[in-house]
Each structure stands twice: as C-alpha cells, then as structure tokens.
Structure 1
C-alpha cells in the first residue's frame, strides 16, 4: 500500500463515536423525509432502519464489557425500549415520526458534544 493510500484510509477511518453519530444522522434524515411524505414503503423502511439501529444499540448496552456508566446504560436501554414500542405504533396507526426524530436528535447532540479531557 502506498503512503498516499494509507493516509487516505486513515482519514476515512473515524472514531466509534463519530461513526455512531453519522449513522444516527443518516437514519434520522430518512425518518424526517418519511414523516413528511406519503410513501408508505419509505415510512416502513425508515422506521425499520431506526428500530434496527436502536435494537443494536440496546444489545450493545447490555453487554457486560460496555464501558458507559451503568445509569446511562440503563437510561439508554429504557429509551431504546420506548423507541421499539413507539415504532410499532407508528407503523400500525400512522402516528407521527417526529418523536422518534426528536429522540435521535438528542442522541446526535450527545455524540457531538465533546467530553471533558
């Protein structure tokens, strides 16, 4: 591998926190778009993708080796369970997607804020 290619791959590799933020941003944009439109398939896809993201997050938070503080993990797991319930309701009764967007935006903000050194 050339030095130029190596440097480019280093630029393309982000910290886990940055990757999480990007995924939340992508999923949230899909939710916002689906919430404004009438396309049922887009709505199903966006809500399902958001649900999958949160289910993955909850599974990770439940792992014994997770380094987040216990109280934060518990709060995020609780939020993830709410997202799962609300997502089912949103698909069955066309409830607004704005609450899911709001929760994701709060997570994005938390992932964007810099931790004290």
Structure 2
C-alpha cells in the first residue's frame, strides 16, 4: 500500500473492499457507454472501457494473482474479447450493448456475496429486457 493510500485510510476510518471498487469502476464505464450520444462521448467511453479491462487483465496476469487458474483464464478470454470489440467500435457504429452486458455481468459477479450458481440464461433478465447473446471468437 502506498503512503498516500495508508494516510487516506487512517484519516477516513473506513475504505471500500477491492471488489466494490472494481464494481464501481464497471458501473462508471457502463454509465459512460450508455450515455454516449456524440462521437466524442463514444470515443471517451470506449477508451475508458479499454483502460478498465487493460488494468484488470494486467492484474489477472500477475504471478501473485489470488484467483484460481480457471477464473483467470475466463477473465482473460472475456477481457480480450471486450477490448477487441471496443477497438472495432471505435472505428464504426457498432452497438455498445454487448460491452454494457459484459460489464453488467462483471458487476453482478463482483457484487455477489455468495458463490453464484448456474442458472438458465433467459431467467437472468427481467420480462421485456433483451440481452444480447455474445459469441466470443478469435
């Protein structure tokens, strides 16, 4: 922990757990992606998405990463796909819904207090809400 962080924590008395900080980062990026109406806003939102996933992938690839190998591999696959998709979307009018959906899944996983059990995909959405199926290739 850096000196500045330790001083902040000692002064504030409380701090957020790392999972909550990560969930907040994904919420922020999703907010930017969903509100991006202009070309400039879209590029800023996609850049924020690329930075977030880049930081996450750097952490996952560290030797001292506490996550098990299967989860690390899955996060690497999803993160790489998300970054490729965002790069394509930077230069086209590709929908941002798939990125928002992936980030929402990350938020749900980070916010879960208990292990998540597998459930049918269709039951995870509310009536009338359509989620884009994403096929990860390449």
> Which residue in the other structure is 1:33 paired with?
35
The TM-score normalised by the length of structure 2 is 0.73
The TM-score normalised by the length of structure 1 is 0.86
Query: 2: CA distance between counterparts of 1:96 and 1:8?
Result: 44
Over aligned residue pairs, what C-alpha RMSD do you find?
1.8
- 2:113 match: secondary structure: coil
Query: 2: CA distance between counterparts of 1:47 and 1:31?
Result: 7
Deviating runs (4+, > 6 A) in structure 1? none
Deviation per CA, 1:42-87, whole angstroms, max 9, x where unpaired?
A: 0000000010000110011000100011000001001111011101
Unaligned runs of 5+ in 1: 1-5
Q: How does 1:3-82 map to 2 (within 5 A)?
A: 9-11=12-14, 13-34=15-36, 37=37, 39-82=38-81
Query: 2: CA distance between counterparts of 1:10 and 1:70?
Result: 34
- 2:91 match: secondary structure: helix
The structure, 1 or 2, with the larger RCO (C-alpha pairs under 8 Å, 6+ apart) is 1
- 1:21 match: secondary structure: helix
**Paired residues, what number?**
108
Unaligned runs of 5+ in 2: 1-8, 116-138
Q: Which has the higher helix share?
A: 1
